Structure 1
Amino acid sequence: MERKRLTYTIEEATILLERYCVYQDRCHAEVEQKLREMHIIQEGQEKIILHLLENNFLNEERFAKSFVRGKYGQKAWGRVKIKAALKLKGISERNIASGFKEIDEDVYLYNLKNLANKKYNLITESNSYQKRQKLYLFLAQKGYEQDMINDVINPYFLD
């Protein structure tokens, strides 16, 4: 079994980080974490990050767009959850707004309605109020906005 190396030259670390960024879009925080794991000194970290930025291996706007496309398209997350996740990664408001431009409103609403329909059919609760509450909380946990959730689930409970 091969053991992880404990030291890297700046050139070796730069090549490894280039590959790391090419594999999938990364944000600054992920790259900085990787550099810390590699035990690269602060001056070396700055030099490598500058190289990655100058050669477009590291681009936060591109990362935000890619992240938004993946989370709303494949995981059916709502804007609230996506924005919180991007903020945790240290992405700026400007880049978050740029990423949100990737959201197709029709697909977004379809995702919400589809999730609501599936969950509604799975909830076995007989009390209408509790069933509505469970459905609402599920959709809120997925990150959808309150007003959109209410618009989508109200027709289910028009008794």
Structure 2
Amino acid sequence: MIEEKTFQKIYSKALNFVSDIPRTRKEVLDRLDRYVFKLTLDSEDKYELKLSVLTLLEEDGLINDERYVRDFINNFKLSSKPRSIRKIKYFLFKKGITSDLIERELSLLEGSVETGNIEKELNKAVSRYSGLEGYQLRSKLTSYLLRKGYDGDMVYNVVDTFLGVK
């Protein structure tokens, strides 16, 4: 049986954790594991405590994975640092977001946003390879952008357009 005092202590720690910045369900669960690990409760009570704290946080609207993904993607669009869709997927997956939710939210994102990011990265990279021309320049630029995680077809189209090949 879980004491009210123990519940309030863990809940206040979790509340403090989610109050700073938006968190995903997985992040909060991982943090609750750290908080509950030190308690002298059996594993069933620990699980029940984590679940009840998590449920209460979700009911209060402090944890919402859909809102987290939507906000992250909106911040991505406004960010001055370009990122590929692949990097965004990896980051969100690492945060415990399901691939279905990631795909659904990213489908709302226009392809022109990623093309614009490729162009930003391309403009930065051109100065590095200023001594190269033709095939060597195209090869260096495309491999650089592909390493950044951008889609191959988009990279080739943008680089070819930039170099005047198309």
Quickly name the TM-score band, shorter chain normalised.
0.7 to 0.9
Give SS of 2:36's match.
coil
Equivalent residue for 1:83? 89
Aligned counterparts, 1:74-113, within 5 A: 74=79, 75-100=81-106, 103-113=109-119
| Per-residue Cα deviation, 1:56-77 (whole angstroms, up to 9, x for no partner) | 1111111111222334542311
User: Cα–Cα, structure 1 residues 103 and 23, in superposed 2: closer, same or farther, change >3 Å?
Assistant: farther
Does 1:50 pair with 2:82? no
Does the C-alpha gap of structure 1 residues 23 and 76 become closer, same or farther in structure 2, counting only changes over 3 Å?
same
CA shift for structure 1 position 45: 1.1
Q: 2:143 aligns with which of 137, 140, 143?
A: 137
Residues 25 and 66 of structure 1 are in contact (CA less than 8 Å); yes or no, is this contact kept in structure 2? Answer: no
Matched residue, 1:3: none
Counterpart code for 2:23: R
Runs of 5+ consecutive residues of structure 1 not aligned to the other structure: 1-7
Q: In structure 2, do the counterparts of structure 1 residues 16 and 124 end up closer, same or farther at CA, with 3 Å as the change threshold?
A: same
Establish whether residue 68 from structure 1 lines up as the match of residue 73 from structure 2: yes
- Secondary structure, in 3 states, of the residue corresponding to 1:48? helix
Aligned to 1:77, what secondary structure does the other structure show? coil
| 2: CA distance, partners of 1:83 / 1:108 | 13
TM-score where L is the length of structure 1? 0.78
Q: Post-superposition shift, 1:24?
A: 1.8
> C-alpha displacement at 1:157, in angstroms?
6.5
CA distance in 1: counterparts of 2:131 and 2:26, whole angstroms = 43
- Which amino acid is the alignment partner of residue 90 of structure 1? G
What is the number of equivalent residue pairs in this alignment?
A: 152
In structure 1, distance between residues paired with 2:135 and 2:164: 9
What is the TM-score normalised by the length of structure 2?
Answer: 0.76
Q: Secondary structure of the residue that 2:62 maps to in structure 1?
A: coil
Q: 1:102 to 1:20 in 2, by over 3 A?
A: farther
Counterpart of 1:29 in structure 2 is: 26
Measured against aligned partners, the alpha-carbon deviations of 1:80-100 in whole angstroms (never above 9, x if no partner) come to 121122222221233213432
Residue 42 (structure 2) aligns with: none
The CA distance in 1 between the partners of 2:36 and 2:133, in whole Å, is: 57
Q: Quick one: percent identity of the two aligned structures?
A: 25
In structure 2, stretches of 5+ residues that fail to align are: 38-45
Deviating above 4 A after TM superposition, structure 1's stretches of 4 or more consecutive aligned residues are: none
SS in 2 for 1:13: helix
Amino acid of the structure 1 residue aligned with 2:84: G
Question: Is residue 128–residue 157 contact of structure 1 (8 Å, CA) maintained in 2?
Answer: no
Answer yes or no: is the 8 Å Cα contact 2:122–2:141 preserved in 1. yes
Distance 1:32 1:157, change over 3 A: same
Structure 2 Cα separation of the partners of residues 119 and 50 of structure 1: 47
Aligned CA-pair RMSD: 2.6
